[in-house]
């Protein structure tokens, strides 16, 4: 593996940073809202699944 000097490494980092496309403020806000909505939907879904399984286990234990 070839060794890279610190100066060459910094030039490569700067070249790669110039290739980065940063999101706009509107894209960031839209993505954040989407993530919050999806997180809420998934939390409600898993709450329902957990409650259902809890009820089934309580019912099974009441039979014993």
pLDDT in tens, 4-41: 899 999 999 999 999 999 999 999 999 999 999 999 99
Q: Locate tokens 């009820």: which residue? A: 55
Instruction: Quote the CA–CA distance of 16 and 14 in Å, as a whole number.
Output: 5
pTM: 0.66
pLDDT of 16 = 96
Q: What is the DSSP letter of 3?
A: -
């Amino acid at each position: 593996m070839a060794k890279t000097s610190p100066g060459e490494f910094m030039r490569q980092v700067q070249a790669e940073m110039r290739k980065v496309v940063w999101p706009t403020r509107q894209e960031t806000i839209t993505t954040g809202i989407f993530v919050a909505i999806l997180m809420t939907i998934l939390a409600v879904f898993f709450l329902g699944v957990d409650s259902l399984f809890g009820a089934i286990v309580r019912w099974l234990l009441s039979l014993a």
